[in-house]
Amino acid sequence: MMEELSFLDAMAQAELVRKGEVGPAELVQAAVERVERLNPRLNAVITPLFEKALAQACAPGLAAGPFRGVPFLLKDLGCHSAGDPYYEGTRFLRELGWVAQDDTYLARKLKEGGFIFIGKTNTPELGTLPTTEPEAFGPTRNPWDPSRSSGGSSGGSAAAVASGMVPVAHGNDGGGSIRMPASECGIVGLKPSRGRVSWGPDYGDNWQGLAVEFVLSRSMRDTASILDLVSGPMPGDPYYAPPPLRPFRTEVGAEPGRLRIGFMIRAPGGVVPIHADCVTAVQDVARLLESLGHGVEESHPAALDEAEQSMAHIWTLVAASVAGSLDEWSRKTGRAIGPADLEPYNWMVAEMGRSVSAVQLTSGVQWLQGHTRRVAAWWADGFDLLLTPTLAEPPPALGQFKSSAAEPQKVVERVQSILPFTPSFNETGQPAISLPLFWNQGGLPIGVQMVAAYGREDLLIRVASQLEQARPWVGRRPPIHA
């Protein structure tokens, strides 16, 4: 039975607990054993919480939520849990042995849902890179090919889910950081609408609204059910996404009707080359959607081709946010954070942020808001979904994003070359999902991205579950798996 648990999704594991066939402690112990067996090869989990998790699993007061007893991993960035180490991929917090004093609203909702946190997953320093290779903790390896990246910044969580350590894990997405690792590890990665999941109580939003919180999973029913669990406004939130007409879980398997779907196989602005595998993946899924009765045509929002201006303003917001975050950590820790505390790339980003004036920041936000309206007009004009590659290339080899003190700008160029399709929808706040529907001849997963109008996760879930049924991915196992 314990081996059979490895690739059951979270809902199936919770059902076993409800039926009394398996206890929470058995689920947690089995997950701990999987982590201990697989992690030396993958380096996905950097902070084990095994003893605490087992104690919670045995406690009579364990929450009786829909996922009671299901093991879960928190990304070590964003969502923090009371009494647990919290490092954001940095050396300076690790050296200080920083411990979070409270739960975020998201952590609280996950606990109330019955999830048990068994550890924290690896993330790039401050979550700023599309690969998980922090100097503080070393690289997370892709279970499909350990010489390759698992993506970033939720790469530790993605590798853990893909390899079968846990059925679901926390992630967040400020420019593709849920969708990118989902693509590279062959799992499901939904970026919800802006304001769907609260950042409180510490923040109203993050990265000026670019970043969102959620999870990485292996099934659409887990994705939808967890979205029901964690979404909704909390006290003091500055804004929130419109509530769904019915629970997201009911959209799994619901008939989507005939939809009008546009697809694109060139990068916005045409400035980044797209690998043939990524083009083929989109064309393949476009044909699949057409066979399911949808109207599919090559079309995309013309405003996406303003990519150069868009990325310049996005970089302004990110850089200013990183600089502000470091100042906040200096205040919290009582230690002035300097260049010796950070990887060269992140110090460069912070210095960029410190050079941004209030007028530049305000102007950037205003430009991006106007651009959002121009992009959104394509959906308002009659399209339901946009289909794109998630990334511009298959999972890259590890080591490509290393920066030296003299060449951090080269890292910026490499970042932009791999993710031309994801940041635009952090800007617009629209929901977007990466689905594992294609593998190349080398056996590497190639994700495809679908994007809906703001607030329409319901439509994404309907179509994604239709694709999941038409081309099931749950049976695929990477070479390194439980």
Half-sphere exposure (CA, 13 Å, Cβ side) for 444?
A: 21
Token reading at 452: 């809906």
Rounded to 5 degrees, φ, ψ at 135 are -60, -30
Query: What whole-number distance in Å separates Cα of residue 341 and Cα of residue 327?
Result: 13
In a 3-state reduction of DSSP, which class is residue 302?
A: helix
Catalytic residue among 153, 198, 434, 465: 153
Catalytic: 153? yes
In angstroms, rounded to a whole number, what is the distance separating the alpha carbons of residues 70 and 456?
28
Contact by Cβ (8 Å): 271, 307: yes
Q: Any catalytic annotation for residue 332?
A: no
Q: Which of 434, 460, 457, 456 is nearest to 445 (CA)?
A: 434
Alpha carbon distance 330, 326 (integer Å): 6
Provide the b/e sequence for 16-33 (b: ≥16 CB within 10 Å): bbeeeebebbbbbbbbbe
Q: DSSP for 35-78?
A: HHHHHHHH--EEEE-HHHHHHHHH-TT---STTTT-EEEEESSS
Catalytic, out of 150, 157, 177, 325: 177
Catalytic residue among 75, 109, 111, 120: 75
By annotation, the residues acting in catalysis are: 75, 153, 177
